[in-house]
Each structure stands twice: as C-alpha cells, then as structure tokens.
Amino acid sequence: MQKPITKQKGIALIIFAVIVSLIILTFAFNYLNPKQLEVFRKDKTAKALFEAKNALLGWSVLRGTTGVSGMPGQLPCPEDTTLIGTANEGSALANCNSPSPVVGRLPWKTLGLGDLRDGNGDKLWYALSSGFRTTPINSTSIGQLNVDGTPNAAIAIIFSPGVILAGQNRPIPTAISPPLVSDYLDLTNNDGDINFSSTGSTGTFNDGLLLVTQSDLFRLVARRILREARGDNTQGLVKFYAANSNNYAFADTNNDGYIDVGQLVGTPSYQGISNTDPNNLFFNTTLKTILVNNGWMLLINYQISASRQTVTMNLYGQSLVVP
C-alpha cells in the first residue's frame, strides 16, 4: 500500500521543483535591468545567426553526394510560404531562379535546424544572390549582393529582423497571408534590389546581418572537390593508380579531359587514357557530370612527380597531396 503513495509524493516533488524553477526564472527575467536584457537578446541572436550560417555552408558542401540532389556550392531557396501551418513549414521553395536576389524567411527545416529564432523571438530571414542555384557554380562564381556600398560582398545574407518598428505590422503569418519582407526588414534591405545595409538611423533600422561570402563557401567546397578528384578504389586518382601498375595519371594540358602522356603539370584528367579503355575512366557518370558541367576540373592545378608516385592538387587556396 505504501508504493503508490511514495510514487505520488515523488511526482509531486518534481512538479513542485518545476514550478519553483519557473518562478525563479520569471523573477530573474523581470528584474534584469534593460542592459542585461539587451545583452541576453544580442547573445541569443548572434548564436542563431551563426548556427544558421554553419547550416547553410554544410548543406551546400554536401550537395551531390550519394543520395543528395544538387551540386556543391548550390544554396537553398528561401522558405516556401505556402507550407506555413503544415508539417513541412520551414521547407525551401523548389525553385527561385531570378536575375535579382530572392529574399524570404530562412528555410530552417530544409537546413535540418529547429525553428530557429533570434533574441526577440522572430524567425530569421535570408537573401540569396543570383547565380547559386543552377549550373555552373564553382569557385569563380561571385556573390552579387552589395553590402554597405561594397560590391559583391556576399552570396547570401542572414537577417535578424529586430523588434518591430513604426509602420511595420507583424500578424501571425499563414499560408494565405504570408509575412511581408517590409514588415521585418528595414530600408534598403526590403526593396528587392541587390543593395543591402547593416546600419541605419535609430527608429528606422534595427536589422542584424551575418554575411555568407564567396570565401566562406568555396574554401569549404574546394576541399570537397579535391577529395573527389583524389577519389577511392571506385573512381578518381586512387582508382587510376591501382589500375595502372601503381602509377598516378599524367596531367591534362589541353583541357580535353584526357591524359597527356609525359606531362607533369596541368589539370586533372577526368576521362583517363581513352574512351576505349573503361578501366581508366576516372569517375562515375553522376560525379563526372557535376565536376565537368560546373567547370571544376579546369580550375584545379595538378602536378605529378616524375616518379608518378605523388600528386599535388591546389584549388582556391586549398591543397591536397596524394597519397
């Protein structure tokens, strides 16, 4: 007879502890001075922006891996607002190709994030430069978003919209009445052109911005491309080495994809010795299409030692030595 009573007492103690904790938190929050509250909000916002940026970069680097659609360097569209209120809220639009930047809420679900919010409790917003959705995308692709007068400063921008300002209205959005960019982003950040700003006068501007630059993205993507060129026993340099008496491939010097026998400096071959020798074809069809159609192979500096036992590849400031 004592066990049910003991169990009930344990549950009651847990509930009591939770209530006390909530009271303490509420008291602490209410009695923090305005400066402390502002520090708290800014810290939460900075963490949310940083988390979102890392998620965008990771998402992009993984495009085109096994079972993952797209190509390295591609970035997602903003949120599909027709899905607001559904289980798929936070998913990206399937298409957003435009010569102008596209601006909308961050597609947190597509990026594998939770419902990320800034220090004011608002969802994050996102601007994407043209040129990062369709072929070709490579390390020569330039972000076309100008920030604070600096041209081509970013390929994407993540925004914390800040507290609501005079003239803005932020009702609970629905698929029928989606959020308007002008109710969240301020001044030049909401006018649909390529110019954005990180500063403005008090009372008319309070957006928080975190830029995703060309360097942020392609120093990571370049590492992946070099690893793909190295390959494994199914493709790439490693496959060629095993199939050709433990010798790495000579360079391609005329950009036709084929090995130029005896040449030590050039770009990596992606075709091997000839089309009639399937054992020497470097890559599977899907990967070769991604690398070739996006111009990656022509951007890699390839140098092989005279002994054909070592290869050094360089791309966008990144280097890989094989083996």
Q: Which two tokens stand for residue 208?
A: 């928080």
- Give the predicted TM-score (pTM) of the model: 0.86
Furthest-apart CA atoms within the chain: distance in Å? 90
Domain residue ranges in the chain? 33-212, 221-322
Instruction: Compute the distance between CA of residue 285 and CA of residue 266 in angstroms, rounded to an integer.
Output: 23
Please check the confidence at residue 263 and state whether its pLDDT lies above 90. yes
Written in H, E and C, the secondary structure of 208-262 is: EEEEECHHHHHHHHHHHHHHHHHCECCEHHHHHHHHCCCCCCCCECCCCCECCCC
Q: What is the pLDDT of residue 1?
A: 47
Region of residue 31 (phi > 0: left; psi between -120 and 50: alpha; otherwise: beta): alpha
Model pLDDT for residues 92-134, shown as the tens digit of each residue: 999 997 777 899 999 999 999 999 999 999 999 999 999 999 9
The amino acid at 161: P
Which whole-number Å values give the CA distances from 322 to 119, 124, 155, 214, 312, in the listed order? 46, 42, 32, 27, 6
Q: What is the pLDDT of residue 14?
A: 67
Q: What is the pLDDT of residue 136?
A: 97
